[in-house]
């Protein structure tokens, strides 16, 4: 498929119309973005002049609306183009900026002596590394070191920046500038349960019903248990169909191969000896030294790979964690790890069919225009047939605290209470996985499964009916002003999310969190892709239009539980879709018939 049209003629004409900048002394600047310092952060000191920072300069994507139309057509099971995913080249053609904008940005940077530029494959991003002093001159701003008062983490940021007025329309945004999101361990969705023999553990867990699978002990969840619970135990995937799955790793989280092998021997003997493919992104490491394993990385890889075996397996280790303390030995402020990973994977012609990620942060800490732009990058992957799954978080509607006296959910810069949706969960092009436990399944309650409504992204058409029906059924005025009832709502689905058996530094431990739910669900999606591939069909790709078209068919509805937080009990689970468990947990025996 090719997308050449009259746009190309316009592009050729635009090349001759590229803006030549006025004399630098005549430049007039206008403010492009401002931020209020989020709660918990304090300004420590000016950033060192000579420290290096890598700026990402986003140029407008010329035809993103067309890309989005293609995405929804190839992801809609009732459309004639269902499954006809785009190639990398076709996606790049749709998002490439017009030459006028590229030339204007290059002229601007060149006027500051910046010519060592790195362009994304579609030329929609420019990366340039420069000293803080030069960045401040470029953006008419001042960078500072900011410290998080609770964790001690540090970022190099500014609260505002400006651009020459003549550049208007040619540059969409620049980061890192005003974004204070931390994709950090405390914000990853791993959640350690108490000792399984403790009274506390006993009191917090419902007793499983008599009809629970015999293989299931819900304080020691195994692959065999999920296989019986979600009915994929009798399915045999093929090693001949080039199926694939990927796991993202950040923040010095290392997936330990020895632990994985122990897990396989314990949980999936037929996978023993199999290996995943490792990629380092932006200096990400692969430390296999005893004692350096990351529980997040181990949880994700062990469960996703075991369930999906024998699919081809990928693990990306991305360096550049946001917590940053400048020193002479580490002068390069590479602190946008998720953006680094997106840049890397979008440049590859072949990408795993399903990818699970267990990191995120408060939506309001990410500038709206930057969140939208990152979300558009995820749309590019989705259009290419990749299913992007995210754990929905462990804080219910915000901080997971139902006590009005101690809750910490506030609009940045104010004392006004608000529910706190998460990003990238709020992006409409990803599938969010909430957490359940026990049997019959209920929403997890040792922590609260993340759910809510975006303040940035409107309800996408695929979930409009389901979300509006849920909101309409709420008591009149409930939580008015605390959430945006017209926002993209999540989660979309759920899976068991507590007491997963994991091998960590050669020891058996139990781990909970939606960080467990997402890789497990991703493994099941990989099995569904196997069904389609064996039938000669393409992989599922972007899942949400299919999920919402099914209206709960193929899923086990979860109707008990809530997502507390922000001084409230939060939203309740109910029949059908809800912002606690989505449409519920998968029934593979039904879904494998529905997806073909």
Whether the per-residue pLDDT at 37 is higher than 70: the answer is yes
* Residue 407, number of CB atoms within 10 A of its CB: 18
Catalytic residue from among 76, 172, 300, 363: 300
Q: Which of 565, 542, 561 is nearest to 462 (CA)?
A: 542
Reduced to 3 states (helix: H, G, I; strand: E, B; else coil), residue 435 is strand
Span 370-410, pLDDT tens digits: 999 999 999 999 999 999 999 999 999 999 999 999 999 99
Give the confidence band of 190 by pLDDT, cuts at 50, 70, 90: low
- Pick the catalytic residue from 296, 336, 455, 530: 296
Dist. CA 245–CA 595, nearest whole Å: 18
pLDDT attached to residue 20: 65
How far, in Å, CA of 91 to CA of 349, rounded?
A: 11
Verify whether residue 494 is a known catalytic residue.
no
Query: What value does the mean pLDDT of the chain take?
Result: 89
- CA–CA gap between residue 97 and residue 280 (Å, rounded): 29
**387-391 and 354-357 as β-strands: parallel, antiparallel, unpaired?**
parallel
pLDDT at 413: 85
Residues in the chain: 596
Q: Give the span between the Cα atoms of 173 and 165, in whole angstroms.
A: 14
Smallest Cα–Cα separation from 58: which of 403, 502, 375?
A: 375
pLDDT digits (tens, 9 = 90+) for 50-98: 999 999 999 999 999 999 999 999 999 999 999 999 999 999 999 999 9
CA dist., res. 398 & res. 419, Å (int): 5
Cα-Cα-Cα-Cα torsion 472, 473, 477, 479, nearest 10 degrees, comes to -100
| CB 48, CB 330: distance < 8 Å | no
pLDDT on residue 507: 92
Q: How far apart are CA 229 and CA 520, in angstroms?
A: 12
What is the predicted pLDDT for the residue at 383? 98
Pick from 490, 512, 485, 492: nearest CA to 501: 512
Q: What distance in Å separates the CA atoms of residue 540 and residue 561, rounded to the nearest whole number?
A: 30
Q: How many CB atoms lie within 10 A of CB 306?
A: 25
CA torsion angle 478 420 444 355 (round to 10) = 130
pLDDT band at 6 (very low <50, low <70, confident <90, very high): very low
DSSP letter at 369? H
Cis bond before residue 27 (omega within 30° of 0): no
pLDDT band at 280 (very low <50, low <70, confident <90, very high): very high
Question: How far, in Å, CA of 62 to CA of 142, rounded?
Answer: 31
- Tell me how many degrees the CA angle 283-190-325 measures, rounded to the nearest 5: 40
Banded pLDDT at 281 (limits 50, 70, 90): very high
Pairing of strands 562-565, 361-362: unpaired
What are the residues whose beta carbons fall under 8 Å from the beta carbon of 592, sequence distance 6 or more? 235, 527, 528, 531
Any residues with CB less than 8 A from the CB of 455 and at least 6 apart, and which?
363, 364, 421, 426, 484, 487
For the question of residue 253 being annotated catalytic, the response is no
Per-residue model confidence as pLDDT tens digits over 458-493: 999 999 999 999 999 999 999 999 999 999 999 999
Q: Is 296 a catalytic residue?
A: yes
pLDDT of residue 192: 66
Q: CB of 479 within 8 A of CB of 419?
A: yes
Residue 39 pLDDT > 90: no
Task: Express each pLDDT in 234-256 by its tens digit.
Answer: 999 999 999 999 999 987 788 99
Looking at per-residue pLDDT, the higher value among 70 and 329 belongs to 70
Interatomic CA distance for residues 578 and 396, integer angstroms: 13
Res. 121: pLDDT tops 60: yes
Q: Is the predicted pLDDT of residue 325 greater than 50, yes or no?
A: no
* Number of other residues whose CB lies within 10 A of the CB of residue 250: 28
The answer to whether 397 touches 363, Cβ cutoff 8 Å, is: no
CB of 73 within 8 A of CB of 79? yes
Euclidean distance between CA atoms 457 and 471, whole angstroms? 17
Give me the pLDDT at residue 189, please. 52
Residue 12 has pLDDT above 50, yes or no: no
Task: Give the three-class secondary structure for 102.
Answer: helix
Of 359, 314, 307, 296, residue with least CA distance to 509: 296
Task: Give the residue among 313, 318, 166, 345 at the shortest CA–CA distance from 251.
Answer: 318
Pairing, β 562-565 against β 555-556? unpaired
pLDDT of residue 516: 95
Residue of 96, 188, 494, 515 marked active site: 515
For residues 431 and 590, give the distance between their C-alpha atoms in angstroms, rounded to a whole number: 20
Distance CA 427, CA 463 (A): 13
CA distance 249 to 251: 7
Average pLDDT, integer, range 190-213: 58
Residue 183 pLDDT grade (very low, low, confident, very high; cuts 50, 70, 90):
low
Over residues 177-192, the mean pLDDT reads 64
């Amino acid at each position: 498929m090719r997308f050449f049209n009259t746009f190309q003629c316009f592009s050729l004409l635009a090349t001759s119309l590229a803006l030549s900048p006025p004399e630098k002394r005549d430049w007039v600047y206008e403010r492009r973005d401002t931020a209020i310092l989020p709660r918990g952060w304090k300004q420590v000191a000016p950033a060192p002049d000579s420290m290096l920072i890598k700026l990402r300069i986003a140029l407008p994507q010329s035809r993103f609306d067309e890309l989005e139309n293609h995405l929804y057509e190839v992801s809609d099971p009732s459309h004639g183009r269902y499954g006809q995913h785009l190639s990398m080249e076709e996606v790049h053609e749709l998002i490439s900026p017009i030459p006028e904008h590229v030339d204007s940005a290059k002229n601007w940077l060149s006027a500051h002596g910046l010519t060592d530029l790195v362009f994304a494959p579609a030329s929609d991003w420019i990366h340039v590394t420069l000293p803080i002093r030069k960045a401040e001159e470029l953006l008419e701003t001042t960078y500072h070191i900011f410290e998080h008062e609770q964790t001690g983490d540090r970022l190099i940021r500014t609260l505002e920046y400006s651009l020459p007025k003549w550049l208007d329309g040619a540059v969409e945004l620049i980061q890192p500038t005003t974004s204070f999101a931390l994709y950090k361990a405390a914000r990853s969705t791993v959640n350690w349960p108490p000792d399984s023999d403790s009274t506390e553990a006993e009191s917090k867990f419902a007793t499983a019903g008599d009809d629970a699978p015999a293989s299931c002990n819900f304080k020691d969840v195994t692959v065999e248990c999920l296989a019986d619970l979600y009915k994929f135990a009798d399915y045999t995937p093929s090693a001949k169909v080039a199926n694939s799955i990927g796991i993202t790793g950040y923040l010095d989280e290392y997936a330990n191969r020895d632990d994985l092998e122990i897990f396989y021997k314990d949980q999936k003997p037929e996978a023993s000896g199999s290996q995943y493919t490792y990629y380092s992104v932006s200096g990400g490491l692969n430390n296999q030294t005893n004692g350096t394993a990351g529980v997040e990385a181990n949880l994700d890889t062990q469960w996703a790979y075991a369930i999906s075996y024998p699919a081809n397996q990928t693990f990306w280790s991305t360096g550049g964690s946001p917590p940053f303390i400048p020193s002479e030995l580490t002068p390069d402020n590479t602190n946008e790890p998720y953006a680094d990973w997106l840049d890397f994977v979008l440049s590859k012609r072949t990408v795993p069919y399903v990818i699970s990620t267990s990191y995120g942060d408060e939506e309001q800490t990410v500038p709206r225009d930057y969140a939208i732009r990152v979300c558009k990058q995820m749309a590019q992957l989705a259009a290419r047939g990749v299913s992007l799954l995210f754990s929905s978080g462990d804080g219910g509607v915000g901080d997971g605290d139902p006590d009005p006296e101690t809750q910490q959910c506030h609009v940045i810069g104010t004392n006004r209470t608000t529910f706190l949706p998460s990003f990238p969960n709020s992006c409409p092009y990803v599938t969010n996985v909430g957490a359940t436990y026990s049997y019959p399944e209920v929403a997890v309650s040792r922590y609260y499964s993340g759910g809510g409504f975006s303040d940035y992204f409107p309800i996408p058409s695929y979930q409009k009916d389901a979300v509006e029906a849920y909101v309409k059924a709420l008591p009149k005025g409930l939580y008015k002003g605390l959430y945006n009832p017209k926002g993209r709502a999540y989660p979309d689905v759920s899976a068991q999310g507590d007491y997963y058996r994991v091998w960590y530094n050669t020891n058996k431990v139990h781990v909970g969190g939606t960080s467990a739910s997402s890789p497990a669900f991703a493994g099941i999606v990989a099995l569904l892709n196997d069904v389609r591939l064996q039938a000669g069909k393409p992989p599922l790709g972007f899942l949400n239009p299919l999920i919402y078209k099914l209206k709960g068919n193929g899923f086990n509805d979860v109707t008990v539980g809530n997502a507390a937080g922000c001084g409230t009990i939060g939203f309740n689970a109910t029949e059908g879709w809800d912002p606690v468990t989505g449409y519920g947990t998968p029934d593979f025996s039904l879904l494998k018939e529905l997806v073909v």
